[in-house]
């Protein structure tokens, strides 16, 4: 059993952030693949569809030993939630999952990013939340070769973005976490929606080199945590104003 259709109920948003000035002709999205479980070969200016599944860590492993793609029917993901995104290729994007009605620990507290079927790629399971802590800020890098997705990597900064901030806890010397009881959906005052900074590396189907991950690495010398937190808060507040 792969991802159940009824699990696709997370609200997501994508914001494109420009870090360099590029003088290019207007272009369109020529990628007609909209399912995260279908293979695609992409170029710059395309959209790229991928998914993130929230579940328990063990749910992503077949026979408790081999990690499979969430598209693989051998996995049982009945107690899971799915977010589907379509960012623009080789742009730095901020993806948000509004968790005001979705506590990630209710479905197991881990997430895996994935795309493709025959050429299936998936990240390792990343911790998101348990009954005590929640991590709300992530960076995901997608690696392509000739336009085909090869790998997805969660990039961590060793808690440098929250160093010295008393309202954060550093988990395992790699993730900045907030106490779960501080979240609005647990009676607290903090918006614990999940923000994922996304970037691309490698080459497209024309072997043009993607630059957005290089740009993210350069920008990491500055304090981006506040920038992305403010933008995420803005997106979440706009969503809440409609519902």
pLDDT at 238: 43
- Asked if 85 and 95 count as a contact pair (C-beta separation under 8 A), the reply is yes
Q: 3-state DSSP call for residue 170?
A: strand
pLDDT at 16: 46
Strand 110-115 and strand 121-122: pairing?
antiparallel
Q: What tokens were used for 100? A: 């005001």
**In a 10 Å sphere around its CB, with 0-12 CB exposed, 13-18 middle and 19+ buried, how is residue 53 labelled?**
buried
pLDDT at 99: 75
pLDDT tens digits for the chain (243 residues)? 566 543 444 444 454 443 333 434 446 899 999 999 999 999 998 999 999 999 999 999 999 999 999 999 999 898 999 999 999 999 988 899 887 778 899 999 999 999 999 999 999 999 999 999 999 999 999 999 999 999 999 998 788 778 788 788 999 888 999 999 999 888 899 889 999 999 999 999 999 999 988 777 666 544 444 555 555 555 444 434 433
**In a 10 Å sphere around its CB, with 0-12 CB exposed, 13-18 middle and 19+ buried, how is residue 35 labelled?**
middle
Q: How far is CA 230 from CA 94, 221, 226, 237, in A?
A: 11, 18, 6, 11
How far apart (Å, rounded) are the C-alpha atoms in residues 136 and 138? 7
């Amino acid at each position: 059993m792969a991802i159940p259709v009824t699990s696709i109920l997370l609200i997501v948003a994508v914001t494109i952030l420009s870090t360099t000035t590029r003088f290019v002709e207007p272009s369109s999205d020529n990628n007609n693949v909209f399912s995260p479980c279908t293979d695609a070969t992409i170029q710059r200016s395309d959209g790229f569809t991928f998914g993130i599944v929230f579940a328990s860590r063990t749910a992503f492993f077949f026979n408790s030993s081999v990690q499979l793609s969430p598209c693989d029917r051998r996995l049982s993901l009945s107690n899971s939630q799915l977010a589907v995104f379509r960012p623009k290729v080789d742009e730095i994007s901020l993806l948000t999952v509004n968790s005001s009605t979705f506590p990630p620990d209710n479905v197991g507290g881990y997430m895996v990013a994935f795309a493709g079927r025959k050429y299936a790629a998936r990240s390792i399971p990343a911790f998101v939340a348990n009954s005590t802590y929640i991590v709300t800020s992530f960076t995901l890098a997608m690696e392509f070769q000739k336009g085909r997705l090869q790998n997805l990597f969660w990039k961590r900064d060793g808690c440098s973005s929250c160093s010295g901030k008393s309202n954060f806890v550093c988990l395992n010397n790699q993730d900045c976490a907030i106490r779960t009881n501080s979240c609005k959906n647990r009676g607290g005052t903090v918006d614990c929606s999940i923000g994922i900074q996304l970037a691309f590396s490698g080459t497209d189907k024309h072997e043009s080199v993607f630059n957005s991950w290089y740009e993210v690495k350069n920008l990491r010398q500055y304090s981006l945590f506040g920038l992305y937190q403010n933008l995420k808060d803005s997106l979440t507040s706009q969503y809440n104003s409609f519902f």
